[in-house]
Amino acid sequence: MSAVAEERGASMRRMRALGRAEMTLLARSRAALFVALALPVALTVSLQRMVPTDRVEDAGLSVGTAVLPGSVGLVLLFAVYTNLMGVYVARREELVLKRLRTGQAREPEILGAAALPAAAVGLAQAVVLMAGGAVALDVGAPERPDLLVAGLVLGVALMAVLAAVTAMVTRTTELAQLTGMPLMLVSLVGSGMFIPLEIAPDQVAAVCRALPLTPVMDLLRGGWTGRLGVAETLRALVTALSWIALGVFAVRRWFRWEPRR
């Protein structure tokens, strides 16, 4: 086996060990499980009634294609973003991150492995919600599954990176409720989760398109409706990847591995 392959194997093994421990911790945390599993479903059900049916239909969408991507957005925000940010803050404050850094695991492995359970739960729940929602709201099969997958994968990656970024400015797990609010609110209102951007004024829509979760929502919705042009698809991909790159840069540069003294 080459040295590179060997190192990759070792890296996988470390990620697996760390991810497994983190999964055990998630399974033992009722609060985290509730936020990750119950909140998105409950919110989807209640928000679905608030969707302005006539205006949505003016924009060429059905209630189903308006709501389903939004509910995946909720999964991303709660099951992945909020949950994982709490994990990063808690592990840092417990000095777990500091300890892990004394071992062989590399920094990206430590943060990446901690994100595995949140990502897995998020993906599984998104799939279940979409399947269940598609049946309940009478939406057909997605027109462009490739866009759907791209939206999901980028969405999870983006949320994980932004969770680490937010954890940098969050000193305690209690404060995580507060520091997570900006992204949460901005996304709910401006990323077209439940209110399609098509019905917003042009200038507002232009600003909203630059928000981190907007490209993910565009890809998800495009996946269902099949109505996302090449240019729009590219724009969404570039925007999402840019946010991820920006986040990774910030984390590499400024992530705090130890509590402030």
Partner 1 sequence: MEAIEAEGLKRRYAQEFEAVRGVSFSVREGEIFALLGTNGAGKTSTVEVLEGLARPSAGRVRVLGFDPFTERARVRPRTGVMLQEGGFPSELTVTETARMWAGCADAPRPVPEVLETVGLAHRADVRVLQLSGGERRRLDLALALIGRPEVLFLDEPTTGMDPEGRRETAALVRTLRAEGTTVLLTTHYLDEAEQLADRLAIMHAGEIVASGTPEQVVAAQPSRIRFRLPAGLRPERLPLSVPAAVHGRTVSVRTHTLQEALTELLLWARAEGVELEGLHARTASLEEAFLEIAGAEVLR
Contact footprint for partner 1 (CB under 8 A):
10, 13-14, 16-18, 20-21, 24-25, 28-29, 90-91, 94-96, 98-106
Nearer to partner 1, 53 or 172 (CB): 172
CB of 103 to partner 1, least distance (A): 5
- Whole-angstrom distance, CA of residue 92 vs CA of residue 98: 7
CB of 16 to partner 1, least distance (A): 7
CB of 253 to partner 1, least distance (A): 14
In the numeric block, which tokens belong to residue 49? 């009634």
- Whole-angstrom distance, CA of residue 125 vs CA of residue 127: 5
Nearer to partner 1, 55 or 106 (CB): 106
- Angle between helix axes 230-254 and 145-168 (nearest 10 degrees) is 20
Q: What DSSP character marks residue 199?
A: G
| Extended beta strands in the chain, E state | none
Nearer to partner 1, 89 or 216 (CB): 89
How far from chain centre, in Å, is Cα 182?
15
CB of 90 to partner 1, least distance (A): 8
Nearer to partner 1, 95 or 245 (CB): 95
Determine contact, residues 172/89, Cβ cutoff 8 Å.
yes
Determine contact, residues 148/103, Cβ cutoff 8 Å.
no
Nearer to partner 1, 91 or 221 (CB): 91
Nearer to partner 1, 103 or 182 (CB): 103
CB of 169 to partner 1, least distance (A): 16
CB of 252 to partner 1, least distance (A): 15
Cα torsion angle, 187, 190, 192, 193, sign: positive
Nearer to partner 1, 49 or 261 (CB): 261
- Whole-angstrom distance, CA of residue 28 vs CA of residue 33: 8
The DSSP element (H or E) to which 27 belongs, if any, is helix 3-28
For the CA atoms of 69, 72, 73, 75, the dihedral, rounded to the nearest 10 degrees, stands at 170
CB of 114 to partner 1, least distance (A): 10
